[in-house]
Structure 1
Amino acid sequence: MIITLAGGGSTFTPGIVKSIALRKDELEVDEIRLYDINEERQRKVGVLVDWILHEDLKLDIKLTVTTDKAEAFTDADFVFAQMRVGGYAMREQDEKIPLRHGCVGQETCGCGGLAYGMRTIFPMVELIDDVEKYAKPTYWILNYSNPAAIVSEACRVLRPKARIINICDMPIAIIDVVAAALECSKKDIVYDYFGLNHFGWFTSIEVNGEEALPRLREYIKEHEILLPAAFLADKQSLMKAAKSGDEGDENPEQNRHTKGSWYYVWKGVYEIMELFPEYLPNTYLNYYLQQKEFVEHSNPERTRANEVEETREKNLFDGIDRYEKTGEIDESVFYAGSHGDWIADLAIALKNDTKARFLVITENRGALPNMPYDAMVEVPAYIGKKGPEVICQDPIPLFQQGLMMQQLNSEKLLVQGAIEGSYEKVLQAFTLNKTMPSMTVAKEILDDMIEANKGYWPELH
C-alpha cells in the first residue's frame, strides 16, 4: 500500500502523515511518498515527517522524498493532492489586487479564487495524466487543492474518467466549532448539507439523533458569533487580534480556523443568520453576502496570505531548522487534526468499502433536483470501493438556488475561458461573480490579474 502526497512541501503534510500513520492498521500502508517541485522546501518538511514516522511513532513505514514523477507515482494506491500553484507570493496577489479595486480579496472566493483557479486547472490535469501513467489502475486521487469548485469542474470537462474525488475540510472545521459550542462530540453529529464548494448550507445538524439546529440558532443569537464559549471569555482580545491579524504564539495551529482575521468570518455567521435563519451557512458565504463589509474591515496591505506566512509558515520552518540544529522537536509547530483525519478516513472508506458518510464534491446527476445535471455540487455521500454514492437532497429554495446558479455559471465560464483561451469568457466569469460591483471593475481587475499571472495563466485572446 503506497500513498503519495503531491505537494509534499505543504505545511499541512506533517499533520496528514500523522493521520495516515495513526491509521496504519486500517490502511495497511507500507510506504509514504512526498512529491513536490520545490525540492528544498520538501526536503525540510521531509525531515519532520521522518521524525514523526520513525522517532515519534516508531513505525516501519518507508518514507520516500522525491521530485521525480515516476518515483512518486509508480504503483501508488492513493495520491493526496494539495498543490498551491504560485505559492504564497501569488496568493498575496490574489488577495491584494481585488482589494485595490474595492472588492473582496480572498484566495478561493471572488476574483482571487478565479485567478487561483486559472493557475491550477492545467497543473491538476497534468497530475492526473502522470498518475494515470504510473500508478495502479485502481488508484484514487483525493484532492484538497483549491479552489476545489473550479478544479473539480475542470477535471469533469477535461478528464471525465479520472478516479478523483474532490473534498474540502472547511465544513468539517465548522462542525468542529459547532460541536464545541454545543458541548458534544463531533462523532455524535450527523448533518445534511447542500451547495457548491465554499458556497453551501447545513440544513440539519443532528446530535445523537436529535435535531440540534434550533439550539445552535439560539446559541449563535445569544453570543452574536459562532465560536465556543471558551473562546469568547475575552472578546476584546479576539477583536484586537482580528484587526492586527495576530494568531498568537502559543500552539498556533490548534484551532487554526479561529485565529486572526477568522474572527470576522465567525461573526459573519451570526450576521447572515439574523437575516436568513433557516440554514447554517458555510462561513465562506460571508464573502458573497457581505462583500462591502468584508472589504471595509480588510487591510489591503496585509491580507490573510501575510498572516499565514508570518505564523503557520514561519513557525513550521523555524521549528524544523531548530530541530536540525539541536535535535529538539516542538510538536506545536505543525497542525494535526481534522484536515488530515478527513482525507485519511476517506482513503480508509474507499479501501475497505466501509460506506462511511462524507461530504464530497461530485457531479450532481439529480442529487439536487433543481440544479443542472452536470453541476459539481457538494453533498453528503456514502463512500465505498466504487466511489461516492450520493445522498439525494430536497429541492433547493429559490434564494439559495439563485445564488448557486450565479456562482456555478461564473465558475463554468472561467473553465471554458481557460480551455479556449477566451478573454471574453474569463471577463464574463469575473463580471458574473457576486463579489463584482460592475463589468468595468471586473475588467480592471482581470487586466491586473493577467499581468500578475504571466507564466501561470494560458494566453487569453
Structure 2
Amino acid sequence: MSEKKFSVVIAGGGSTYTPEIILMLLDNLDRLPLRAIKLYDNDEERQGRLAEACGIIVKEKDPNIEFTATTDPETAYTDVDFCLAHIRVGQLPMREKDEKIPLKYGVVGQETCGPGGIAYGMRSIPGVLENIEYMEKYSPNCWMLNYSNPAAIVAEACRRFKPNARVINICDMPIGMENNIAKILGFNDRKEMTVRYFGLNHFGWWTSIKDKDGNEYIDKLLEHQLKYGNTLPDEGNNGDYTDNSWYETAKKVKDLTALDPTMAPNSYFQYYLFGDDMVAHTNPEYTRANQVMDGREKRVFGECARIAEAGTAEGTSLEIGIHASFIVDLATALAFNTHERMLLIVRNNGAIENFDKDAMVEIPCIVGKDGYEPITIGTIPTFQKGLMEEQVAVEKLTVDAYEQGSYHKLWQALTLSKTVPSANVAKKILDDYIEANKEYWPELK
C-alpha cells in the first residue's frame, strides 16, 4: 500500500456522531493512513463542546496526526483529500418542528420520510451546496463523501446543481440493516455477503444475498422475516438496539415483508406503507428529536466534557460507530482503487431499465480511484416501480420548489407524498412549515 497519508475534514464537526467517526478513522489507520483531521462547523460553540475531547483522542492515538477545529472555510478545506459531510442545518430544534408539525394533522412525523424529510431537505440543500463550493475552491481534487440527510433530496440537488462535482452520496441505513441480516443468516460479518439491492434512499429492497461461494440466502431471509421481521427469535429488545423504537422498527419488517414476500424491504417503508400505525404509536409531544436531545446529546457532550477536564480519553464510554465503517470503506476504495462493492446513491442512467434515467437511485456500485460504476439492475416489478415513481416525483418537486422559490411546487410535493392523505392537509402542513423555517428556506411565492 502507498506511503501516502491523507487529510480529512469532517463537515458538521459539531455533530454528536463526530467522535465515533474519529474513533473509526483512528481504528483504521492501517487501511487509510492520516496526516490531518479537521473539524468544520459554522456553530463554534457546539463544535467546541466536542473539539477538545476529539483532539485528546487523536493525540493519544497518533500524535503525528494534526488536529484542527475551525469555523473558517478556507482553513477547513485547504489541503484536504476527503470531506466527510454530515451537516444538519437547523440542528435538533428544527428536527423537532419537522416531526411535530405533521403530527398535529395525524401525519407521520419523521426526520427523513414524508413532510419532515421535505422540510429538512429545503434547509439542507443550500448548506450542502455551500460546502461543495468551499471544497472546489480550496481543494479541487478532494472527494466529498456526503451522508447529510435527507440523502435522497440532497443527492437530487447535487445532480442538478453540481453535476460535475467530486461528490459521492451514501447512507449508513442499509449498512445497519445488513448487520442485522448477517446475524439472522449466520454470517460473521455483513462483508461475507454479496447483495443485490435497488430503490431510493430509505426506500429500497434486497433481492439477492449470496455467500462467497455463490449460494443464495434470500429465501431463507424472507422466511425468517415473515415470522420475526429483522429480529432474532426470543431476542426481545435486548439485542443491538440503542432503544426500544429501533427494536419495534426491526419487528415491523414482518408486516412490510408480508406485503410483497419476494423481496426484503428497507425498514423505513413502515412510514410510507403503515403510516397510520406509526402515528398511533408516536407521542406528538415527545418525538424522536426529544429522545435524541435527552439521550444521545447529553451522553456524548457529557463524556466529551469529562475527557476535556481529565485531559485523557482513557476509559472513555465513547465507542467506534459501526455504521461509520462505510466511510472508511469508501475513502479507501477511492484512495487505493480497491474496487469495493458498495451501495451508493447515483444517477440511474439505465441501471434500472424501466425507470427514470435522471432519478437518483440507491444501487450497488464498484468503487475505485476514478469514482464508481453502477451495477445493472434490469427491470423492476410494477409495485416497486409505482412506489418509487411517486417518491422520486416528491424529491424532484422539492428541489424544484427550492430552485424556483415556488409555493405550489412544494405544496405538490407534500400532496404527492404517500404519507399525506390530501391536498388540504398538505397545505396546512406547508403553511406551518413556512412559518417555522423563516430563517432557513428561500421565500416561496
TM range (shorter): over 0.9
Structure 1 residue 11 and structure 2 residue 11: aligned? no
CA-based RMSD of the aligned residues comes to 1.6
Q: Say whether the 8 Å CA contact 1:200–1:282 is kept in structure 2.
A: yes
Q: Aligned pair in 2 of structure 1 residues 109, 155: CA closer, same or farther (>3 Å)?
A: same
Q: Aligned pair in 2 of structure 1 residues 23, 59: CA closer, same or farther (>3 Å)?
A: farther
CA distance in 1, matches of 2:232, 2:316: 21
Amino acid at match of 2:261: P
CA distance in 2, matches of 1:351, 1:81: 17
**Aligned match of 1:38:** 43
CA distance in 2, matches of 1:329, 1:96: 37
CA distance in 2, matches of 1:32, 1:332: 20
Structure 1 residue 162 and structure 2 residue 146: aligned? no
CA distance in 1, matches of 2:279, 2:306: 38
1:19-38 aligned at under 5 Å gives the runs: 19-38=24-43
Could you report, residue by residue, the CA deviation over 1:426-445 in whole angstroms, capped at 9, with x for unpaired residues? Answer: 10000001001000000000
Measured after TM superposition, the shift of residue 34 of structure 1 is 0.5
Could you report, residue by residue, the CA deviation over 1:312-370 in whole angstroms, capped at 9, with x for unpaired residues? Answer: 11111111222233456476643423322101110010011111100000111111111
Could you report, residue by residue, the CA deviation over 1:148-179 in whole angstroms, capped at 9, with x for unpaired residues? Answer: 10001011111111110000000000001111
**Aligned match of 1:172:** 175
Structure 1 residue 383 and structure 2 residue 386: aligned? no
CA distance in 2, matches of 1:189, 1:78: 27
Q: Say whether the 8 Å CA contact 1:319–1:329 is kept in structure 2.
A: no
Equivalent residue in structure 1 for 2:323, among 319, 327, 339: 339
SS in 1 for 2:205: strand
**Aligned match of 2:306:** 322
**Aligned match of 1:217:** 222
Identity %: 48
Equivalent residue in structure 2 for 1:101, among 97, 101, 105: 105
Measured after TM superposition, the shift of residue 260 of structure 1 is 2.6
**Aligned match of 1:140:** 143
Structure 1 residue 351 and structure 2 residue 351: aligned? no
Structure 1: runs of 5 or more not aligned: 239-247, 249-253
Amino acid at match of 1:63: F
Amino acid at match of 2:153: I
**Aligned match of 2:286:** 302
Equivalent residue in structure 2 for 1:268, among 252, 255, 259: 252
SS in 2 for 1:426: helix
Structure 1 residue 122 and structure 2 residue 106: aligned? no
CA distance in 2, matches of 1:388, 1:66: 31
SS in 1 for 2:278: helix
SS in 1 for 2:363: strand
Amino acid at match of 2:346: T
Select between 64-73 and 38-47 the one with higher mean Cα deviation: 38-47
Equivalent residue in structure 1 for 2:192, among 178, 188, 213: 188
Measured after TM superposition, the shift of residue 263 of structure 1 is 2.5
Equivalent residue in structure 2 for 1:74, among 75, 78, 99: 78
Q: Say whether the 8 Å CA contact 1:16–1:344 is kept in structure 2.
A: no
**Aligned match of 2:3:** none
Structure 1 residue 198 and structure 2 residue 202: aligned? yes
SS in 1 for 2:282: coil
Amino acid at match of 2:181: V
Q: Say whether the 8 Å CA contact 2:8–2:84 is kept in structure 1.
A: yes
Q: Say whether the 8 Å CA contact 2:142–2:166 is kept in structure 1.
A: yes
CA distance in 1, matches of 2:191, 2:128: 33
Q: Aligned pair in 2 of structure 1 residues 79, 331: CA closer, same or farther (>3 Å)?
A: farther
Q: Say whether the 8 Å CA contact 1:12–1:335 is kept in structure 2.
A: no
Q: Say whether the 8 Å CA contact 1:319–1:330 is kept in structure 2.
A: no
SS in 2 for 1:429: helix
Q: Say whether the 8 Å CA contact 1:269–1:281 is kept in structure 2.
A: yes
Q: Aligned pair in 2 of structure 1 residues 117, 335: CA closer, same or farther (>3 Å)?
A: farther
Q: Say whether the 8 Å CA contact 1:11–1:334 is kept in structure 2.
A: no
